[in-house]
Amino acid sequence: MASRFTDDLIDIARRELARGRMDRRDFVRLCLGAGIAPAVAGSGILTASEAAAAAQEIVLCNFGGDAVRAMGEAWGEPFTADTGVPVVVDGGVPLAGKIKAMVESGNVVWDVCDGDGFLCDQLGKQGLLDEVDYAIVDKAKLPQGWAYDHGIANYTYSFVLAYDTSLFPDRAPTLKDFFDTETYPGFRTMWKYQMGAMEACLLGDGVPPEELYPADIDRAIAKARSLGDNVIYWESGASSQEMMMSGEAVMGIIWNTRASVLERDTGGRVSWTWDEGLYCHSSFVMPKGHKADPAATNRFLDSVLDPARQIRLLELLGNGPTNPAAAAMLPEELVRLDPGHPSNVARQVTRSETWYEEHYDEAVERWLDGISG
């Protein structure tokens, strides 16, 4: 029944597409939504003019949720207003595996993908990404090292220590307190997929910040296991937020974007500290052979670095600017929320992109093995 319905849907869509009443990319999305491979469903129906039309828009893929609307508003709409090129935001979760699969299949639907900074070099060296054209993108808008060959730093974020203020009414906890379940009973939560959690374990175990990398994964796992049954690992940002919101967990190493929303939504019952946080940056990359006109895509990347637009994203989503010029323009009330503001960066440890580029795969795998079973 269901499959007959989707077949029918695809059939109608195919006819709409042939008559030019439907955009090819909408068609691809529809096929994906219906669980049908667009490579097969869409073969042989793309005329040259349709291909040209498809090249006239940019498909931006990010991790979904509020980020779809926020990136559309902060980056997509102003870019379209400037250039007339539409930006479609797709919350399709562009994990490295999906980018690889898309590039290798030869049917690249995404033009710009959101991903961690170290992925620029990691995937770039595997030949999965297009190079950034720094004749169009202004390198000067980025700090040293954040303008990669195969991507640009688009926003900053942090893993921060969030806590229930009923347990810490006078001061913020430290990572030492985080691992002290005797004095401060209750569940803790960390990300299941290693990042941020590993660093918190090492810092909590007394590793000096400057010696954090190269990271001793086994030492981190031992520290994590010392929490015994007092730890719940969060799967998604939403679940970390829900655990702190409901009081199931009393402390958590979570994303700053979730921490600030929690503080707002709980009226201050849950708060967070930048101290001992892990400061990271994300990036925009272009999958190799992406369909949009590279001049347009690169122009879009340059527009992403506009400080006013980055501040708008901070307002909407809690992700900070990567353009250092933004700090001076920041309204007072946003300073506390910006992971990349110099006053907040000073209190945190910065993630080593070079370490992650080389060790991410191994680290995630060993971490998962270590915390489970």
Partner 1 sequence: MTRPYLLFVLPAVALVGLMFLLPLGWLAALSFGLPESFGLEHYEAIVTSPGIRSMLWTTLRLVTITTLVSLVLGYLVAFAMAHLGETQRLMLTLFVLVPFWLSVLARALAWLILLRHNGLLNEALTGAGLVERPLQLVRNELGVIIGMVHFLIPYAVFPLFAAMTTVDRRLVMAARSVGARPWRAFTDVYVPVTLPAIFGAGVLVFIFGLGFYVTPAILGGGRVVMLSEYISVSVLQTLRWAQAGALSMVLLLSVIALVWLVARAIGFRRLAGVG
Contact (Cβ atoms closer than 8 angstroms) between residue 132 and residue 298? yes
Find the binder of partner 1 among 97, 106, 208, 267 (CB under 8 A).
97
Nearer to partner 1, 150 or 299 (CB): 150
Residue numbers 100-139 binding partner 1 by CB under 8 A = 100
C-alpha to C-alpha distances, 227 to 203, 238, 363, 372, nearest whole angstrom? 15, 23, 20, 13
Residues 6+ apart with CB under 8 A from 145: 353
Q: Is 178 in the site for partner 1 (CB under 8 A)?
A: no
Give the side-chain half-sphere CA count within 13 A for 36.
22
Strand, helix or coil for residue 279: strand
Q: Is 192 in the site for partner 1 (CB under 8 A)?
A: yes
Counted residue by residue, the chain has a size of: 373
Nearer to partner 1, 156 or 189 (CB): 189
Q: Exposed, middle or buried, 122 (CB in 10 Å: 0-12/13-18/19+)?
A: buried
Q: Is 269 in the site for partner 1 (CB under 8 A)?
A: no
Find the binder of partner 1 among 210, 229, 332, 333 (CB under 8 A).
229
Find the binder of partner 1 among 34, 53, 88, 364 (CB under 8 A).
364
Residue with tokens 């379209």: 80
Find the binder of partner 1 among 82, 235, 265, 343 (CB under 8 A).
235
Q: Is 187 in the site for partner 1 (CB under 8 A)?
A: yes
Nearer to partner 1, 107 or 303 (CB): 107
Tell me the C-alpha distance between 103 and 101, whole Å.
6
Q: Exposed, middle or buried, 23 (CB in 10 Å: 0-12/13-18/19+)?
A: middle
Residue numbers 33-62 binding partner 1 by CB under 8 A = 37, 40
Q: Is 316 in the site for partner 1 (CB under 8 A)?
A: no
Q: Is 232 in the site for partner 1 (CB under 8 A)?
A: yes
Q: Is 211 in the site for partner 1 (CB under 8 A)?
A: no
Find the binder of partner 1 among 134, 168, 193, 355 (CB under 8 A).
193
DSSP codes joined into one string, 95-155: -HHHHHHHHHHT----SEEEEETHHHHHHHHTT-BPPP-TTTS-GGGS-TT-EETTEEEEE
C-alpha to C-alpha distances, 272 to 73, 104, 145, 322, nearest whole angstrom? 27, 42, 29, 22
Nearer to partner 1, 58 or 119 (CB): 119
Span near partner 1 by CB under 8 A; candidates 45-53, 69-77, 324-332, 361-369? 361-369
Residues that bind partner 1 (CB under 8 A): 37, 40, 95-98, 100, 187, 192-193, 229, 231-235, 239, 246-248, 360-361, 364-366, 368-369, 371-373
